[in-house]
Amino acid sequence: MTVVLEYDNLTKEYRSFASRRRVRALDHFSLQVEAGEIFGFLGPNGAGKSTAIHLAMGFMRPSSGSGRMLGKPFGRASTRRRVGFLAENVALYHRRAEPLVRFYGALNRMGGARLSQRAREVLEAVGMLDQAKGNVGKFSRGMLQRIGLAQALVNDPELLILDEPTSALDPVARVMVRELLLKAREAGKTIFLSSHLLSEVELVCDRVGVLHQGKLVRLGRTEDLLASAGQTEIVARGIAPDGFAGAVARHGVVTFTVPVHQQQAALERVWSLGGEVVSANPVRRSLEEMFLEVTGAANSTGGAR
């Protein structure tokens, strides 16, 4: 698999000029994002997510370590031509939406009829074509975020780096952005998505990494991370609930959970009691539960993985 974004043992320290105090935002951080995936980058406030993104974009230099984006070291202008970026709290020039998107496209060496057509396409994709002649300075935060997304998409990027892309959006717009991301993945694009909206991440991301106090404390496929509780939920019919620990009878079925290694025995017991198994599924945690568990554990162990 091709690696599109790679952090290699990267550390970033901020130094206060006045107090000479050092703050370590990223601590020997390593990560590989593969081509064609949607990678969810999670972490509490101040975990170092935006720092990691800004390092990849070349907005700052690492204190130590290195990184590569699309096969080239971080900070190359020529590489950014193939990248789309949306910053958290997006700030854009106050001019009409369509010329603004064209301006950002032109900075990526686009031009002519292709750029005009592409600008209209992306404005339509983010649901802002009706507002193409409106001044961005008068837009709401949600509208501004959509224009920000349009400028990130205008160059048809191979890699899309989005820092909180849906934080100011209403539920309808969130669904639209989600569909946009899924469509981009279908087209072979890679998406690096930093977000606090865990339900969104859970729905679209193939892999998830959790950053805490500058360290990567959890990394894996979304489905693996959510199914790692080691429990199976069994739903059965035609049995009494008191034969199984923690079983609940509701709407004519009995539901209970057992450790995975006891699953076979539990199913055989249901059948031996004359019951019928309706379903047996691994217990899935929500991403929120996993996130709280991971960051809580990291707090108690000082950020160890």
Q: Which residues bind another protein (CB under 8 A)?
A: 14, 50, 54, 57-61, 77-78, 80-81, 83, 85, 87, 89-93, 95, 103-104, 106-109, 111, 148, 151-152, 155
Q: Which is nearer to another protein, 95 or 237 (CB)?
A: 95
Q: How far is the CB of 95 from another protein (least distance, A)?
A: 8
Q: Which is nearer to another protein, 87 or 184 (CB)?
A: 87
Query: In whole angstroms, what is the distance from residue 238 CA to residue 273 CA?
Result: 8
Q: How far is the CB of 8 from another protein (least distance, A)?
A: 20
284, 267 contact by CB (below 8 A):
no
Query: In whole angstroms, what is the distance from residue 216 CA to residue 298 CA?
Result: 10
Q: How far is the CB of 196 from another protein (least distance, A)?
A: 19
Q: How far is the CB of 254 from another protein (least distance, A)?
A: 56
* Helix axes 141-153 and 171-186, enclosed angle (nearest 10): 10
The CA distances from residue 279 to 70, 171, 240, 268, in Å, are 45, 32, 16, 13
Burial of 300 (0-12, 13-18, 19+ CB in 10 A): exposed
Q: Which is nearer to another protein, 68 or 80 (CB)?
A: 80
The CA distances from residue 177 to 4, 39, 70, 145, 153, in Å, are 22, 15, 24, 11, 12
Query: In whole angstroms, what is the distance from residue 200 CA to residue 213 CA?
Result: 23
Q: How far is the CB of 147 from another protein (least distance, A)?
A: 10
Q: Which is nearer to another protein, 86 or 270 (CB)?
A: 86
- Name the E strands within 152-252: 159-163, 190-194, 207-212, 215-221, 231-237, 248-250
Q: Which is nearer to another protein, 95 or 114 (CB)?
A: 95
* Helix axes 141-153 and 97-107, enclosed angle (nearest 10): 40
Q: Which of 292, 279, 285 is nearest to 229 (CA)?
A: 285
Q: Which is nearer to another protein, 109 or 221 (CB)?
A: 109
100, 131 contact by CB (below 8 A):
no
Q: Which is nearer to another protein, 82 or 269 (CB)?
A: 82
Query: In whole angstroms, what is the distance from residue 88 CA to residue 95 CA?
Result: 20
Q: How far is the CB of 152 from another protein (least distance, A)?
A: 8
Q: How far is the CB of 41 from another protein (least distance, A)?
A: 16
Q: Which is nearer to another protein, 211 or 236 (CB)?
A: 211
Q: How far is the CB of 93 from another protein (least distance, A)?
A: 6
